[in-house]
Amino acid sequence: EISISRRTVGPASKPRYGARSIMGQMSVQPLFSSGVDPLKTIAWTQREVTLQGAERKVVVITAPESWSMTAVSVFASHYLRVVDGVRETHFGAAVNRLAETISGWALADGYVDAEAAQNLRHELAYMLIHQMWSPNSPVWYNVGTVKRPQISACYIQHLADAMDGDDGIIALQSAETRLFRRGSGTGTNHSNLRPEGYPISVGGTASGPVSFMRGFDATAGAIKSGGSTRRAAKMVILNDDHPDIEKYVDSKVDVEHMAWDLVDAGHSSDYNGKTYANLALQNANHSVGVSDAFMEAVAADALWTLTYGGIPARTIRARELWERIVRAAHFCGDPGLQFRDTINHWHTSPSGGAIVGSNPCAEFVYIDDSACNLAAHNLRQYQRHAAHPYARRMHDANPSLVNTLDVDALRHGVGVSILVQDVLVSRASYPTPAIEINSLKYRPLGMGYANLGALLMSVGLGYDTDAGRALAGAITSFIGAEAYRVSKQIARVKGVNFAQNCADGAAMRRVLSQHAQAAQRLVEQANHVVSQRDAPPALSGYTGYVAAQAAAMAIEAHSVWVGVMNADTLPRNGQVTLLAPTGTTGLAMGCDTTGIEPDYALVKHKNLAGGGYLKIVNQTVKAALMTLGYTSAQISAISDYIEKTEKIEGAPELDAKHLPVFDCAGRCAELTDAPGERYLVPHAHLRMMAAVQPFLSGAISKTVNTPYETSIEEIGQLYSEAWKLGLKCVAIYRDGSKANQPLCGARPPRFNHKHPHV
């Protein structure tokens, strides 16, 4: 566990709320590692790897024997770095670089004593090398390679209506450049920029936000993130009442029409190729900042006033703007929506201003000029059947617990993560003074998880089931409550920062109370699922046991929420959890599914930045079939069928009632001549997001996948439902609606310039 030790280094009296009092240091128990360097206890093997990227260079590296070839390839391509002029070729060197550096910082900065620092080093190395946990990519890129590394993956920056100044257009472009080159992404709300045609002080008229977005986008496209081959990541936002909102909504539609025309004329559809490199607005996700007032005006078919600087510009029908947004999203996937009032309802830090922006994937929603370092737990490595030494040591003797989550292990992993992430905040470099000030004051963290879809599959639960949502909610609630509990302990060691402010303290307690109320509702929902075991779809035997465990975890999480809410000392961190996409980190951890996503298909073809692709075969199906009671011979036959056909529908000896367990976001085998028919209905994605959102500090990076034939009206219904369900952000992608998409099992009907213009 992570706790405050009894060894004090200052006054031991209980502090009143808001008072700074050092009570001790953090105690770190060697739960996973048993106090032994884990890098000395695993089997290593040499692998020949073709590095991803433009060079496609073949190298020989030393990797853990247990890692899949996909995980080895991704880790070697991205996370083996040049240190002191020498490129790493041993995975242990990269892991040790992080574990030694971070535990050393924790010791030097007074979080832990020497004994706890050594334990932290071993626990951190264990979690990394056994693919239990990973920080965001900039930590792998930069920690241990430079003195003051860029550590956060996610930034939100302010933009003023000025060319010059610390938060002007030129300053933002410079700051973005520094972030992109070290592997981070950034987002900015552009609503402060005056509309096109408005007069400017030096004479002439403004060119408007969209024109500057094109300039920022060109810079981003010229820079490779972190020295790798992927493009820089950006988010741009414009609020629903800005006079240029219609131009903004149409901007990506116009460019995507050009892309289709070029592809139809014979140009490459490769998103790394010349076609997309020469088109504008290809490096940013676009979102509209939507208010409750706008959504209510849409529902009432009322008029909507566009304003700038508090002065009305013109009036339009709210529903006409809504329909424009929906048609654009249907055509090309942009814009997404960010529900501003919902986001600020969960705002813990009002002294920093209202939340108006997000990072590129919209999971980090926080104040302007802020940064967030992310981390993710691989949920399947916290199952009792996991292959790493701790799981074998603890659980092999009790086979009845196979596949269920080890709650004690998860609690410990959360503690290590929050401690490490808070240490990183103080040791990071920041691109601007404003971001540094806010980072050190509010200390937002972004811990989450990956592999939820695979976890549910492995325990025999479909993604679109009440039991699956109850388990996901319980996990998220438990992780969030434990994260704030550890943050509170760190506050007692290091001192509370932002929450000493009266307004922030009240806001933090209000938000913690909202989490606790949601946790109580989850307890009732989870218990209801358990009580419905005999109702269709029946939960019996093992899956019934899993549902009962979810209810027990929900009860424990609620207790922790209440304890944190009522504690004298408030958490040190303005935010602690969110759900990131975990793309590269998830692949490096051997995950079948990323973030909160279900699997996209049982066999996927992923186009890689820099060229080439990975064929990724789901590795969880066998575990799921075992859970569902199939014999070894049946599992072998079904697995062979999947390898051959890229789908499970029609597999020999598979009971049709089990098909929902294996449903994916898209139709399986769509690159073959016999594609599958089943897929998760789009509302399943929203229902899962709604099940976990109340337990997250931030938001959720999640694509609501829809099939090609989804109508414009259905897209509108999904966006409206997302708002009603209390989601903070939502993005929808209709399969095949771009001339190129990086993850596919899809061969949808083509549409091009002949498609009606939107």
Amino acid identity of residue 719, one-letter, is Y
| Active-site residue, 363 included | yes
Q: At what angle do helices 69-79 and 91-108 cross, to 10 degrees?
A: 60
Residues 98-109 as b or e (16 or more Cβ within 10 Å = b):
bbbbbbbbbbee
Nearest to 581 by CA among 603, 597, 559: 597
* Contact between residue 651 and residue 641 where contact means Cβ atoms under 8 Å apart: yes
Distance (Å, rounded) from C-alpha 693 to C-alpha 697? 8
Report the 10 Å Cβ neighbour count for 604. 22
**3-state SS record for 691-736:** HHHHHCCCCECCEEEECCCCCHHHHHHHHHHHHHCCCCEEEEEECC
* Angle in degrees, CA 66, 67, 70, rounded to 5: 150
735 with 705: CB under 8 angstroms? yes
> Rounded CA gap, 519 and 554, in Å?
7
The SS3 assignment for 26 reads strand
Beta bridge partners of 61: 47
Amino acid at 409: A
Distances (CA, A) of 712 to 716, 718, 752: 6, 10, 17
Q: And the tokens for 574? A: 């303005």
CA–CA separation, 313 and 93 (whole Å): 59
Single out the catalytic residue among 361, 591, 668, 729.
361
- Secondary-structure breakdown of the chain: helix, strand, coil percentages, each rounded to the nearest 5: 45, 15, 40
Cα 436 to chain center, whole Å?
23
Q: Tokens 């070839």 label which residue? A: 69
For every residue of 79-94, DSSP letters joined together read H--EETTEE--BHHHH
- Tell me the chain's radius of gyration from C-alpha atoms: 25
- 372 included as an active-site residue: no
Distance between CA atoms of 668 and 421, rounded to whole angstroms? 38
Q: Which residues pair with 448 in a beta bridge?
A: 376
CA distances to 197, 233, 238, 368, 660 from 208, rounded to whole Å, are 7, 22, 11, 21, 49
Entry field: residues in the chain: 758
CA separation for the pair 390, 399 (Å, rounded): 15
Which of 359, 373, 451, 527 is flagged as catalytic?
359
Q: Of residues 123, 363, 597, 714, which has the active-site annotation?
A: 363
Q: Are 587 and 541 in contact (CB under 8 A)?
A: no
Helix axes 712-724, 318-332, angle to 10 degrees: 110
Residue 617 β-bridge partners = 603
Q: Which residue from 163, 277, 276, 281 is spatially nearest to 214, judged by alpha carbons? A: 281
Q: Peptide bond before 431: cis, by omega within 30 degrees of 0? A: no
Sorted by sequence, the CB contacts under 8 Å of residue 701 that are 6+ apart come out as 361, 362, 363, 578, 579, 580, 581, 595
Query: What is the number of H-type helices and E-type strands within the chain?
Result: 23, 23
User: Is residue 359 among the annotated active site residues?
Assistant: yes
Question: Annotated active-site positions, please?
Answer: 359, 361, 363
